[in-house]
Amino acid sequence: MSTPSAPLTGVVPPLLTPLTADGEVDLPSLERLIGHLLDGGVDGIFALGSSGEVAFWDDARRAAVLEAVTGTVAGQVPVIAGVIDMQTDRVIQHVRAAERFDLAGYVVTAPFYAITGPEEIDTHFRAVAAATDRPLWAYDIPVCVHAKLPAAQLLRLGADGVITGVKDSSGDDVGFRRLAAANRAAGSPLTLLTGHEIVVDGAYLAGADGSVPGLGNVDPSGYVRMHRAAQAGDWEQVRAEQDRLAQLFEIVFQPTDKVGPAAGVGAFKTALRELGIVETNTMASPMTPIEGAAVDRIREILGATGLLDGARAGTDA
């Protein structure tokens, strides 16, 4: 399989999927959101990830999202796409359906629902890789898949050219540093991106090549500034940006009656609505949008972290 000319590093937000009030993809909002990310200076876009509510979309919706995203991005930055499903055959179907779009790679989880052992996981990634020339990213997200991808297995898949990188949402910072160290010792076959919004600074110290922050939909330029500062070795700025982004991340804890994406993605959508970037904070059914006092508290946090001013003045880092 081919490898891309340069590995994808830096800030690659998992793109939200804005919806109209009746639950259809809201194309104008999607275009504004993509513009917001590109203006913020992101290095790539990850469509159809967990934050994109991919678990809730059927095949037609997935195709519609990819068509709109790749059309709007139009090659300005690489776009990678989640091909998330229960098992190998369905994942390959999603890959095949996506081949006609301008994509720089696919993001693949281990199989889920059925209990799965290491041999099946290995076969799974190799079978998906055999179905495409595009690079694969392993998506390590035990909170959804209920299995942790072992570092040794990831490195073997990397050394064999099966995967090009890892999107780590494992919540295991000790494991991430061990993976980063082992990756370096092996000649860095893998690009490592972290998905944990408020500990990206520590991940950079540990050896992350970039981040995939859901919160990067709301404040892309903050994550971009943090990345540039890390590359420049300006760790005091890294820390200052991370602390402010951590304060902003508190929006996801405001809807006390919701869990999972209804809280987290719901808070991101609500913030983007308050910032005037998307039209509604509608969520995929069966989830419902955040309402009431939680919206006020989200708005307060946006104010306290300087984003409401940015909303009026335009986002300029």
Q: What is the DSSP letter of 283?
A: -
Integer Cα distance of 302 and 317 in angstroms? 16
CA dihedral 17, 246, 260, 119 (to 10 degrees): 90
167 is catalytic: yes
Site for its own copies in 82-101 (CB under 8 A): 84-90, 93
Taking CB under 8 A as the binding criterion, the range among 7-15, 129-137, 143-151, 216-224 that sits at the site for its own copies is 143-151
Reading the block at residue 277, the tokens are 């970037």
Residue 256 contacts its own copies per CB under 8 A? no
Q: Taking the CA atoms of 180, 183, 188 and 193 in sequence, report the sign of the dihedral they define.
A: negative
- Other C-beta atoms closer than 10 Å to the C-beta of 296 total 11
CB of 244 to its own copies, least distance (A): 10
Q: Is the CB of 177 or the CB of 228 nearer to its own copies?
A: 177
Taking CB under 8 A as the binding criterion, the range among 25-33, 36-44, 118-126, 216-224 that sits at the site for its own copies is 118-126
Taking CB under 8 A as the binding criterion, the range among 10-18, 114-122, 270-278, 309-317 that sits at the site for its own copies is 114-122
Q: Is the CB of 13 or the CB of 255 nearer to its own copies?
A: 255
Integer Cα distance of 4 and 77 in angstroms? 13
Q: Is the CB of 160 or the CB of 243 nearer to its own copies?
A: 243
- Amino acid identity for residue 74 in this structure: A
Q: Which residues does 280 contact at the CB level (< 8 Å), separation at least 6?
A: 18, 19, 20, 21, 26, 29, 269, 273, 289
Integer Cα distance of 155 and 140 in angstroms? 13
Among 25, 27, 38, 287, binds its own copies (CB under 8 A): 287
Q: Taking the CA atoms of 112, 117, 118 and 121 in sequence, report the sign of the dihedral they define.
A: negative
258 is catalytic: no
Residue 286 contacts its own copies per CB under 8 A? yes
From the candidates 139, 204, 258, 269, which is the catalytic residue? 139
Residue 132 contacts its own copies per CB under 8 A? no
The annotation places the binding site for pyruvate at 212
Which spans of this chain sit near its own copies (rule: CB under 8 A)?
A: 50, 53, 55-58, 61, 84-90, 93, 111-117, 119-124, 127, 143-146, 171-174, 177-178, 181, 196, 198-199, 201-203, 205-206, 233, 235-236, 238-239, 242-243, 246-247, 250, 257-262, 284-288
